[in-house]
Amino acid sequence: MKTKITLLIAFLSISITTMFAQNEQDLETLSIFSELAKSKNYNAAYTPWMELRNRNPKFNKAIFVYGERILKYKIDNTEGDEKVGFINDMLKLWEERKAIFPNVTPTGAYSAKACQLEYDHRKILNKTKETLYTSYDLAYTSDAKTFTNPKSLYTYFSLMVDLYDENVKTAQQLFSKYDDISEKIEFEVKNYTNKRNAYLDEEGQVKEISQKEARKLKSYDSYLKAYDKIAGSIDTKLGARANCENLIPLYGRDFEEFKNDGVWLQRAMNRMYAKECNDDPLFVKIVEQKNALEPNADTAFYLGILKDKAGKSSEALNYYNQAVELESDSFEKSKILYKIATNFKKKGRYGQARTYYMKVSKSQSKYGESTFSYCSYVCQKRQ
């Protein structure tokens, strides 16, 4: 019995000693390549990094953080088959990270990165637009919540437009995807605007905040600028494909099929208004149907537009104010106010435009900066 206990103790002692020696070796290797990577000496960092990655990939998340930087450098500074090898290894690295550290490797975010990498090197990888779009679509539909990268969202939609131009995708698929991506961008803009507004006082000025909070605020501003730029680029890419000549026949054809679908009606009236198709009887038909099915702030606003066109200004104003009252979300309310103000501006009713632009500016929304320039413009017109 004593012999067995002695052997067990000896075995455990050897195991613990081996484990500590292994940990020491791993720590040393980690220290070597991380310091080299921090100093941007990626070529020198590559060998010890690969050594630890192959030996003990679960040892530390830094293997994947620094590994991404190292491989990015290798991709940017190689050509031909060697570059392809590093691209494929980056894709493999992200898969390994997802398997080992799933809680800090969101599917949508990393799938988007993988898709973008393949798109950026599509020629050398011999990737077709259809194959790339399929990958983006799978990434987005699998985890849209963390698929937030502005560049990837634009690329995803850009591929849809290209496939539509090549008659691979239908007009309905194109416009549905446009609405998907536009709504996603609006959601993210709202998300980052609310985060940003948490650091502002009642006057819209930045409060006293820590350095850490200041970095967060800078990040939020950066995202908002990127989304604003991408939203414009998406509209430019869509271009005349979504003009009234295309929208009216499409929505007219599909109305009976989708007249009880609130999402379809909402998107159709939003798209027709955005493209200034609101003079067509179909716009009236869609707005009235949406109002009968699911009245909301948007339908009240569009009913105001219709009353305005009929010369019933007081009724129109009642609908505009109803639209504002129906919207409880401060960000969405600012969007309604902005649309009302802009509509008044287009009609040359600068006094009313100014009133609503000022309401927007007080809401501390993403429209703040442009609102002040519009206010300046309409004030001058009013004089």
Chain segment 29-79, per-residue pLDDT in tens: 999 999 999 999 999 999 999 999 999 999 999 999 999 999 999 999 999
* Residue percentage of the chain with pLDDT more than 90: 65
Transcribe 15-34 into DSSP letters.
HHHHHHHHHHHHHHHHHHHH
If DSSP codes are grouped into helix, strand and coil, which group holds residue 240? helix
Nearest to 198 by CA among 220, 174, 177, 180: 220
- pTM: predicted TM-score of the whole model, two decimal places: 0.79
pLDDT surpassing 90 at residue 122: yes
H helices present in the chain, as ranges: 2-38, 42-55, 62-76, 80-100, 107-120, 122-125, 129-142, 150-165, 171-197, 211-238, 244-258, 262-274, 281-293, 297-309, 313-326, 330-346, 350-362, 368-382
Average pLDDT over residues 88-107: 97
In the chain, what are the domain boundaries? 1-105, 126-142+152-199+210-242
Q: Please give the mean pLDDT across all residues of the chain.
A: 88
Q: Which of 5-14, 171-180, 278-287 has the lowest mean pLDDT?
A: 5-14
52 in Cβ contact with 59 (< 8 Å)? yes
Average pLDDT over residues 16-39: 81
pLDDT band at 91 (very low <50, low <70, confident <90, very high): very high
pLDDT band at 260 (very low <50, low <70, confident <90, very high): very high
**pLDDT score of 349:** 85
pLDDT band at 6 (very low <50, low <70, confident <90, very high): low
Chain position carrying tokens 């969202």: 153
Q: Which of 89-98, 340-349, 362-371 has the lowest mean pLDDT?
A: 362-371
pLDDT surpassing 90 at residue 382: no
Q: How many CB atoms neighbour CB 219 within 10 A? A: 13
Chain position carrying tokens 């969101």: 106
pLDDT surpassing 90 at residue 17: no
In tens, the pLDDT along 136-164 reads 999 999 999 999 999 999 999 999 999 99
51 in Cβ contact with 29 (< 8 Å)? yes
Nearest to 71 by CA among 56, 84, 87: 87
pLDDT surpassing 90 at residue 303: yes
pLDDT surpassing 70 at residue 365: no
pLDDT surpassing 60 at residue 224: yes
**pLDDT score of 363:** 61
Q: Would you state the structure tokens that stand for residue 181, as one six-digit string?
A: 């991506």
Q: Would you state the structure tokens that stand for residue 75, as one six-digit string?
A: 């991709």
- The amino acid occupying position 367 is Y
In tens, the pLDDT along 261-299 reads 999 999 999 999 989 898 899 999 999 999 999 999 999
In tens, the pLDDT along 307-328 reads 988 888 889 889 988 988 988 8
